Structure 1
Amino acid sequence: MQYRDRGVVLRTIKLGEADRIVTIITASNGKVRAVAKGARRTRSRLGGLIEPLRHVDLQMYRGRGELDIVTGAVTLDRWPEVREDLERLGKAMTLAEAVDQSVHDRGDDPVPYQMLVGALGRLDQADSDMLVPAFLLRLLSHEGTAPMLDGCVMATGCEGAAIVAFDPALGGVTCETHRRGRPMSPDALALLRSVAAGQVNAALEAPTGPHAREAAAAISRMWEYHMDRRLRSADLLDS
């Protein structure tokens, strides 16, 4: 069956001597794994189009096997500012890896695709320390595993107690009375609450500093707890 869709290439791996297997998050078909035949040949036009972090309009063929076949592609966006800046490139790779980890093959949920295209477009325009943690938090929320940030997860016996820590195993923040997890400052908590409330632009415009890094570390721990694996691309940002 032939079909057409838009998608962002998340990653590629070699297949045989000339082909590639590409993983793509699409607008209408969820996460798709497909073979790009001949993509590694020097003269292959397809090979230059099917590469990580490229937004493409795809012609695909779905057969009986697990892998579809890419029959054609046209570039929609390649986000040049992201590619020319190593810091932004590392963040973009983390966004793509997060989508790859959290989305199952196939499906018809357009939100991860829409989120990734929006985040990469924003990153191409301007960098922000909060872009990756905001994206991860919104993706966790979409998956139904967002941390509790409005009040202590212990719920009872917290009257008047200040929020002072964050514990991914408990699912959110804890107060002075039930202190668990790592310390969290009021400013870092405010950043996370603004993202959770949908005020993403305000969080992205927050100045670079320790509070943004603290918020990012908390969300990374939450992500690793729920996904049970690290975001390897995020390690590049800390190196």
Structure 2
Amino acid sequence: MPLYRDEAIVLRTHKLGEADRIITLLTRHHGRVRAVAKGVRRTTSRFGSRLEPFTHVDLQLAEGRNLDTITQAETLTPFQSEIALDYDRYTAGTVMLETAERLAAEEREPSLQQFLLLVGGLRAMASGQRTPSQVLDSYLLRSLAVAGYAPSFEHCARCGLEGPHRWFNSSMGGVLCATCRVPGSAAPAAETLVLLGALLAGDWPTVEAAEPRHLKEASGLVAAYLHWHLERALRSIEYVER
């Protein structure tokens, strides 16, 4: 079987037989990959904790007809050692992993930007320097933008008229002017829309200066926007404090 090497973030694992696991990975060069780690559930496994969710690993894999097989694994960054120690970081990080898996829907479709974005997001989450919910909201907006669903927070998403605008609608792609407003549109505070733009751009001074009520409102809009474009809710997002 042909061998190849790649970097990856472990997104998810589930049991296979008595001692094996199927590992879902987001790789740097091969997109989303599902691979078998043989014997990994045995206490004598040479892989140990290297193939747990959140781990940034360097892998050697053997190509298979349906599933590849992991033949070597070396830890590059053990993000799980920091993220798993804090409930808020862990739940927010889990949403990031599930989002990355959903947005990389096609197996073996290269997605370097999504990979780099996830590595950066997990690094920020593990550092503990920023509030987990803020890191999560910024990651969600950026990952959706990379996937082609960039929201508009300044120009009307329908006609392009320069804002600021009052209305926001997930199905329309962002803010709407009074002329383009459709039924069911939300009317968030102007400060919330500025905050959403800052989260998308990574403008952390603006994010950190925001009031709690605007942060909460922004989180709700991010979750609604994510739900609309993924077409169904994430299982993990209900556990996140928002």
- Indicate whether the TM-score tops 0.5: yes
Match of 2:239 in 1: 236
User: 2: distance between equivalents of 1:96 and 1:206?
Assistant: 28
Q: Contact 1:19–1:37 at 8 Å: present in 2 too?
A: yes
CA deviation vs aligned residue, 1:70-128 (integer Å, no higher than 9, x gap): 01111111123312111001111111110000002112221111001101111112232
The secondary structure found in structure 2 opposite 1:56 is strand
Contact 1:18 1:39 in 2 (8 A): yes
CA contact (8 A) 1:191 1:212 kept: yes
1:27 Cα offset (Å):
0.9
| Superposed displacement of residue 189, structure 1 | 0.3
Q: How far apart in 1 are the matches of 2:83 and 2:124?
A: 10
Note if contact 2:88-2:241 (Cα within 8 Å) is conserved in structure 1. no
Aligned-partner Cα distance in 2 for 1:130–1:159: 27
Q: Residues 143-171 of structure 1: CA distance to partner in whole angstroms, max 9, x if unpaired?
A: 11112221333438x798x6223211122
Q: Following the alignment from structure 1 to structure 2, what is the Cα–Cα distance between the partners of residues 101 and 70?
A: 22
Please tell me whether the aligned partners of residues 131 and 204 of structure 1 are also in contact (alpha carbons under 8 angstroms).
Answer: no
Query: How is 1:152-171 mapped onto 2 (pairs within 5 angstroms)?
Result: 152-155=156-159, 163-171=165-173
SS in 1 for 2:172: coil
Residue 217 of structure 1 is matched in structure 2 by 220
* Contact persistence 2:198–2:204 (CA under 8 A): no
**Runs of 4+ in structure 1 over 4 Å off:** none
User: Please, which runs of 5 or more residues in structure 2 have no aligned partner?
Assistant: none
Given residue 100 of structure 1, which amino acid in structure 2 is its aligned partner? E
Alignment: residue pair count = 235
Distance in 2 between residues matched to 1:32 and 1:193, nearest whole Å: 32
The answer as to 2:117 corresponding to 1:115 is yes
- Conserved in 2, the CA contact under 8 Å of 1:136 and 1:223? yes
Q: Distance in 1 between matches of 2:121 and 2:52?
A: 18
Q: Secondary structure at the match of 1:147?
A: coil
Query: Quick one: percent identity of the two aligned structures?
Result: 35
Question: Alignment partner of 1:163: what SS?
Answer: coil
Q: What CA distance in whole angstroms lies between the structure 2 residues aligned with 1:233 and 1:107?
A: 24
Aligned-partner Cα distance in 2 for 1:75–1:159: 47
Listed one character per residue, the Cα deviations across residues 146-199 of structure 1 (whole Å, up to 9, x for unaligned) are: 12221333438x798x62232111221134553642221111100112234x34
When the two structures are superposed, what TM-score results if normalisation uses the length of structure 1?
0.90
Counterpart in 1 of 2:5?
4
State the match for 2:84 in structure 1: 83
TM-score (normalised: structure 2): 0.89
RMSD: 2.2
| 1:102 equivalent in alignment to 2:106 | no
Q: Which amino acid aligns with 1:71?
A: T
Matched residue SS, 2:58: strand
Match of 2:50 in 1: 49
Counterpart residue identity of residue 190, structure 1 = V
Q: Which amino acid aligns with 1:35?
A: V
